[in-house]
A and B are shown apart, each in its own frame.
Chain A
Amino acid sequence: MQLHHFHGGLKLADHKAESTARPLLTLGVPKYLYVPLSQHIGAQTECTVQAGDRVAKGQRIGRAKDYICANVHAPTSGWIRGIVEHPVPHPSGLSAPCIKIETDGRDHWGDDRMEPWHDWRERDPRSLRERVRDAGIVGMGGAAFPTAVKLNPRPGKRIHTLVVNGAECEPYISCDDMLMRTYPEAILEGARIVAHTVGAERVLFAVEDNKPEALRALTDAMPSGEQDFLQIVSIPSVYPTGGERQLIKVLTGHEVPSAGLPADLGMVCHNTGTLKAIREAVVAGQPLISRIVTVTGPGIREPRNIEALIGTPFADLAAAAGGYMPDVDRLVMGGPMMGFAVGDDAVPIIKGTNCLLATRPQDAPQPGPVMPCIRCGECTRVCPANLLPQQMYWFAKSKDFDAIQDYGLFDCIECGCCAQVCPSNIPLVQYYRFAKQEIWGREKDRQKADLARERFEFRQQRQEREQREKAERLARKKAALGKKDSEAGDKKAVIEDAIERARAKKAAQSSEERPSKDRERADG
């Protein structure tokens, strides 16, 4: 198969052998699980249980209340011990609502477990999509975008190719590698289910060439006669080939349009872990309640891959991997390039946790002082989006948000290549994140202001209209009165008579009012 290149990228030492040397370990059920309500891109899930409730394994405890959202299920059986604010894996280091479950150790499935569909080929795409939605599946490569949304057809866009992303290009991470070695049949079945659901007639299964065992396992698991439908492609190991857009470029030579989606090219791309989860949801009736996590890095004694329940604290996984080295000082969720450091290992693993990376000071030393940009252009050379990071840095620094967007800020995938090669130690990706946040914030403010202005203008219009109507009414009344007057004629006597009448009336009124006012004062 003819492969293509994308601009830039980095060849990085992959450090995957450390964690693939030991077999996959399945972690037992911990005493407490903390299941965050928000583990995905999109709206927060709505909690459907209360403290004291008894839950069965796989029971839904959080309901997706929005299109871009995902259900949350109890990873095991036990009791709900409250909806608590607990540290979650998030770059901010803040706490977020989590469902605290005290496990009962029985790991008991309830009666309303989803029905296993061995006959999924007979099911229509709509019900398969619903199953994926019910199972709370999100993209498991790290981004955690609700998968059901990606399976939904877009009007006028026919999907002909399913791209399976087994690239796993970031150093240290090997959970997909281990998954492909251990469950190749399940992943391939997941690929068939997705192809059936989206109507794809071809599957391209891409694996980086630094994973020969995974490639062999997949090839061995391929039934003969499927070669025309499913193709396993070994691709060069370059970071960030695992980026969806980069991967499609490597496989097809086509670039997904900047503001578009792979669907614009008739493609959809799913991670191997996601396919395995889809297979379990459809064929085994099991929602997404566990995943494989790579626990690795020079700060871990026995790096390995561990299958653990969602909600298990990082600390339990580290302990299962032999514990920390004595001088460990940083714990990262994700890989070394795009992951973020967490402040506390009490945080639970979530659906998107692919890797726990523990490092010592010498493995990721504090970079030297930030120096001025010398425009050496190394960042330009390695940028996989073909941007000019050095120019975008100036614009971010000077808060010239129009210019930075003109230079393609929103085409930046935050892969971190530029920051890694920058000789001036400038945290470039941070600048771009800052600029994006500012622009989004301003956009929101602008929308709010627009709404407020619209409301104000509407109110003004309404008041003007009311005033106008009032004036018109008055004018009409006056006109009517004037007519009457003129009809009555302008005889002096008549007018004088009227004035006299009015005077008398006024005098009578004021004499009535005064005592009443006095009375009020007395009451007060």
Chain B
Amino acid sequence: MRFRTRTSPHMVPGHSVGHLMRQVLYALIPGTLAMAWFFGWGVLVNVVLSVLFAVMFEALMVKLRRRPVAVTLGDSSAVLAGWLFALAIPPLAPVWVLLVGTGFAIVVAKHLYGGLGYNPFNPAMVGYVVVLVSFPRELSLWPSPQGLMEGSFTLWQTLQTTLTGRLPEGLDWDAITRASPLDMMRESLVTGQTVGEVARSPVFGSFSQTEWEWAGNLFLLGGLWLLYRRVITWHIPVSMLLSLATIAGIFWVFDPDQFASPAFHVFSGAAIIGAFFIATDPVSAATTPLGRVLFGIGIGILTYVIRTWGGYPDGVAFAVLLMNMVAPTLDHYTRPRIFGHSGDGRG
């Protein structure tokens, strides 16, 4: 009797890349819904449009590169990139911001480098940084929950705003937007207020602005679920958040009036989503266990430095991209000790 010959292992294979990516997408759902709850339909509109654009660009590039389109789209990595990009964009940003950002992320940062697995930089963060430095005004208009309520923004009005770039009749940006906690902290410190005074502002919850805290908590929940499902390892999120909290703690203890608390830093801006969802992108991160720890520490420290002394209120995206640059070097110098070898494991 004849049989087919195939290579080992002769078992049901483990999970696929698509499966891993979809786990990350599921983990994003609670945090995304929380953001939509506080910041309105705009969050969901951004997610849907960005994902749509990202998938479109991905299909286009794969077609141009003459690769199987269905297989590539099946890995869901474009969906994830689009989604992560959307979460960084203010909810009422005009549609062309989404188009430019996702286009740059997928076309330039991903496919011009060879597609999934070959991109040295995190595509979603490249897309975000491109629109951030190109369109600072559009990227700074974060609506406040109260503002949105006063304007009673419906889905229809949100779509109109996104597509036309103009607010509905009788509303202006000043009325509905508010500085994000990091912006607030930054500006208040510049104008001479102390950290304590900012934190006593009514919009602040225990550590940061209430709505950001909630979204952060739910993203944290998703991240912990990813850890539990072993989609990601602890190395990057733990080392990044710990290093951010540690360096913030050092300065805070030194001068609590001038420097925000570690908890504020961890629960504001993109720290949590960055730690669990962005820095953990395996393609552009370091890959050895120790390398990942150093990678996370680097992101934590750079985030703090950029937030505190840099030109932008948040620094996670820049920190991630900067550390992406050194990831191969980290891998080279942090090889684990091979079984049966002594010392640093060089063969």
Query: Which A residues fall within an 8 A CB radius of B?
Result: 6-7, 12, 93, 171, 245, 249, 255-258, 260, 315, 324, 328-332, 336-345, 357, 359, 363-369, 371-378, 380-381, 384-388, 390-391, 405-411, 416, 419-425, 427, 429-430
Contact B338 A258 (CB under 8 A): yes
Main secondary structure of the interface of A (DSSP, over half): loop
Contact of A416 among B9, B71, B118 (CB under 8 A): B9
Q: In the complex, how many angstroms separate the beta carbon of A286 from the nearest chain B beta carbon? A: 32
Whether B338 and A330, one on each chain, are in contact in the complex, defined by CB atoms closer than 8 angstroms, is no
A423 and B3 within 8 A (CB): no
Which residue of chain B has the shortest Cβ distance to A328 in the bound complex? Answer: B3
Smallest Cβ-Cβ distance to B8: which chain A residue: A416
Which chain A positions have C-beta within 8 A of B10?
A: 330, 332, 336-337, 339, 341, 357, 359, 363-364
Contact of A372 (CB < 8 Å), options: B3, B118, B345: B118
Interface residues of B in 250-288 (CB under 8 A from A): 282-283, 285, 287-288
Contact between B287 and A380, CB atoms less than 8 A apart: yes
Q: How far is the CA of A427 from the CA of B9 in the complex (A)?
A: 9
What A residues does B335 contact at CB under 8 A? 388, 407
Contact check, B347 vs A371: say whether CB atoms are below 8 A apart: no
Contacts of A411 in B (CB 8 A): 338-341, 347
Minimum CB distance partner of A427 in chain B: B7
**Once the chains are docked, how many angstroms separate the CA of A407 from the CA of B338?**
9
B347 near A329: Cβ-Cβ < 8 Å: no
Q: Complex Cα distance A315/B68, Å?
A: 41
Stretch with Cβ within 8 A of A (4 or more), from B16-24, B153-161, B192-200: B16-24
Q: How far is the CB of B31 from the nearest CB of chain A, in Å?
A: 22
Contacts of A423 in B (CB 8 A): 14-17, 19-20
A345→B4 CA distance, assembly (Å): 11
Closest to A414 in B: B8
B2 on interface, CB distance cutoff 8 Å: yes
Q: Does B314 contact A (CB under 8 A)?
A: no
* B interface residues, Cβ below 8 angstroms from A: 1-17, 19-20, 68, 71, 75, 115-118, 233, 282-283, 285, 287-289, 292, 331, 335-341, 345-347
Task: Report yes or no: A408 in contact with B345, Cβ–Cβ below 8 A.
Answer: yes
- Contact flag A374-B283 (CB < 8 Å), given A330-B10, A359-B10, A423-B17: yes
Contact yes or no, B347 A405, CB < 8 A: yes
Q: Are A336 and B341 in contact (CB under 8 A)?
A: no
CB-CB under 8 A from B9, the residues of chain A are 336-337, 364, 416, 419-420
Alpha-carbon separation in the docked complex, A372 to B68 (Å): 13
Complex-state Cα separation, A446 to B331, whole angstroms: 32
Report the Cα distance A396→B347, complex, angstroms: 16
Q: Once bound together, how far apart are the Cα atoms of A420 and B347, in whole Å?
A: 25
Chain A residues lying within 8 Å of B338, measured Cβ to Cβ, are 258, 385-387, 408, 411
**CB–CB A339/B8 < 8 A:** yes
Separation of A367 and B2 alpha carbons in the complex (Å): 21
Chain A residues with CB under 8 Å of B12's CB are 363-365
A391:B339 contact, CB within 8 angstroms: no
The interface residues of chain B lying within 8 Å CB-to-CB of A315 are 1
Contacts of B289 in A (CB 8 A): 377, 380
Which of B3, B7, B287 contacts A377 (CB under 8 A)?
Answer: B287
Residue of A nearest to B231 (CB): A376
Q: Is the CB of B7 within 8 A of A371?
A: no
Q: Which residues of A contact B13 (CB under 8 A)?
A: 365, 367-368, 420, 425
* A372 and B115 form a contact (CB under 8 A): yes
CB–CB A343/B6 < 8 A: no
Sample of 16 A–B contacts (CB below 8 Å): A315-B1, A324-B1, A328-B3, A338-B8, A340-B5, A341-B3, A368-B13, A371-B16, A371-B17, A371-B117, A388-B287, A407-B347, A408-B347, A409-B347, A411-B341, A424-B117
Q: How far is the CB of B286 from chain A (nearest CB, A)?
A: 9
Query: Given A255-B339, A371-B75, A386-B338, A336 and B11 touching (CB < 8 A)?
Result: yes
Assess the B347–A406 pair: CB atoms within 8 A: yes
In the complex, chain A residues whose CB is within 8 Å of the CB of B345: 386, 408
Chain B's closest residue to A403 (CB) is: B347
Smallest beta-carbon distance A89→chain B, Å = 12
User: A331 and B19: CB pair below 8 A?
Assistant: no
Q: How far is the CA of A336 from the CA of B12 in the complex (A)?
A: 10
Looking at the complex, which one of A332, A365, A374, A419 makes contact with B116 (CB distance below 8 Å)?
A: A374
Chain A residues, CB < 8 A from B68: 369
Closest residue of chain B to A92 (Cβ to Cβ) is B5
Give the CA-CA distance A332 to B11 in the complex, in Å. 11
Known interface pairs A255-B339, A255-B340, A408-B341; 5 further A-B residue pairs with C-beta atoms within 8 A, sorted by A's residue number: A258-B347, A343-B5, A345-B1, A386-B345, A407-B347
Cα–Cα, bound, A329→B5 (Å): 9
Find the A residue at minimum CB distance from B235.
Answer: A377
The residue in chain A whose Cβ has the minimal distance to the Cβ of B331 is A391
A255 to B338, alpha carbons, bound, how many Å?
10
C-alpha spacing A315/B331, complex, angstroms: 50
* Cβ-defined contact, A6 with B117, below 8 A: no
Name the residue on A nearest B68 (C-beta).
A369
Find out whether the CB atom of B6 lies under 8 angstroms from the CB atom of A93: no
The complex places the Cα of A367 from the Cα of B10 at a distance, in Å, of 10
Contact present for A336 and B347 (CB under 8 Å) = no
Given A343-B5, A423-B17, the answer on whether A375 and B282 have CB atoms closer than 8 Å is yes
A329 → B minimal CB distance (Å): 5
State whether B5 touches A93 (Cβ < 8 A): yes
B115 & A422 in contact (Cβ 8 Å cutoff): no
A420 with B287: CB separation less than 8 A:
no
Q: Which 4 A-B residue pairings sit nearest by Cβ, starting from the closest?
A: A372-B117, A258-B340, A341-B5, A336-B10
Residue from A376, A406, A420, A429 whose CB has the most chain B CB atoms within 10 Å: A376
